[in-house]
Amino acid sequence: MVLDFFLSIVILMFLSAAIALFLYRPHIVAEIINGQAGQSVLDLSHPPLSLTFDLAGPSFQINQPVSLNVSYKNNGAGPISHWQLALSDTDQAFSISRIRLLSGQGSVSGDSLTLPDLAPGETGTISLLINFSATDSNARTLNWQLVSAYTYNDQNLSATQTLKPLDLQAQLNVSAVAYYNSPQGDQLGAGPLPPVVGLPTNYWIFWEAKSDGDFKDLAMSGRLPQGVELTGARTLLAGQLKYNTSTRQLIWQVPDIKGGSDIYRAGFEIQLVPTSSQLAHVPMLMAGLKYFSTDALSAQEASGTLPDLSANLDFDRFNKGQGKVAK
């Protein structure tokens, strides 16, 4: 009985000591139980690294870089290390051909960036220029994302953030040419060539438009100089031609242009009667050529100017250079 009493006292002493130790450092026991000794618990709904993005515009051109600014902040109590950013297209319709780091620290390799460690509370911004190439010729929208991976408190973390989609601007090709003979050799014009003072020489001017995407409200214009007049002969495959006699301006309007293989064309005949003051000179046939249109998807304006057309017929393979007025 004495021995049993003694053992009971010893057991009570050990039990009291265990309870005292548990109450004195309870977090040590919890961390040992959870296997996380020496680490703080992360709230994954509020990760230590926060990123915000700023894009230059809602659309891009395939031959022009996209400007992207990435602002960052370390909201954690410890440093962030082994930090990398990777960009990709979620639809695999476009691929990244080049990334350039304009400002900020880091190094670029392929479609990813390796950035320096961040101290607690550190903020900054990096500016990137990103070039894309198309893997799907029919794709018009870039759906892309950025994946950030880093180490915080000896834990490897990653997050995927969706970036704002970008619309690919369609390419509109517009041309203006003057012929006496067509590229196939057919005679379109009439009269002396080179042109002669006081005698009429007729030429044909063709305006063309072609695009890889849909456009709307194409307007193209040019002015006839003094001594050049419309004959009234024309060929019109799309839109309508309007001529203002007081301003001598000719305007071609096409409401809709569908992307693909179709070519939209307007052709008209002009007549040049050289004056004596133009002797030994090359007369102008049409000047002030310019065009405007709107991308139907991105709503971006496409515009440009074209070279003046002269009697030298720069696009006529049979009569090029025969524009100097003779007697």
Say which residue, 178 or 45, is predicted with more confidence. Answer: 178
What six digits make up the tokens of 81?
């290390």
Q: What is the pLDDT of residue 24?
A: 59
Mark which of 168, 184, 204 sits at the end of a domain: 168
Q: With cut-offs at 50, 70 and 90, classify the pLDDT of residue 14.
A: confident
Supply the CATH number for residue 160's domain: 2.60.40.1670
Q: Model pTM?
A: 0.74
Q: With cut-offs at 50, 70 and 90, classify the pLDDT of residue 5.
A: low
Say which residue, 25 or 84, is predicted with more confidence. Answer: 84
Query: Does a structural domain hold residue 233?
Result: yes
Determine the Cα–Cα distance for residues 136 and 168; give it in Å rounded to an integer.
12
Q: Which residues span the domain enclosing 204? A: 172-310
Query: Does a structural domain hold residue 84?
Result: yes
Which of 178, 181, 177, 176 lies closest to 318, judged by CA? 181
Query: Cα 52 from chain centroid?
Result: 20
Determine the Cα–Cα distance for residues 238 and 264; give it in Å rounded to an integer.
6
Using CA of residue 93, residue 61, residue 212, residue 316, what is the dihedral sign?
negative
246-270: pLDDT as tens digits: 999 999 999 999 988 789 999 999 9
51-62: pLDDT as tens digits: 999 998 889 988
- Whether 127 and 68 map to the same domain: the answer is yes
- Whether 143 and 190 map to the same domain: the answer is no
Mark which of 137, 152, 168 sits at the end of a domain: 168
Determine the Cα–Cα distance for residues 172 and 295; give it in Å rounded to an integer.
9
How many domains does the structure of the chain reveal? 2
- Whether 194 and 301 map to the same domain: the answer is yes
Q: What is the pLDDT of residue 1?
A: 72
Q: Say which DSSP state 28 is in.
A: H
- Whether 180 and 238 map to the same domain: the answer is yes
- Whether 290 and 179 map to the same domain: the answer is yes
Question: How high does pLDDT run on average in the chain?
Answer: 90
Say which residue, 298 or 233, is predicted with more confidence. Answer: 233
Find tokens 């074209």 and name the residue: 306
Q: With cut-offs at 50, 70 and 90, classify the pLDDT of residue 13.
A: confident
Helix (H, G, I), strand (E, B) or coil at 21: helix
Q: What is the pLDDT of residue 46?
A: 79
What six digits make up the tokens of 35?
């296997």
- Whether 129 and 179 map to the same domain: the answer is no
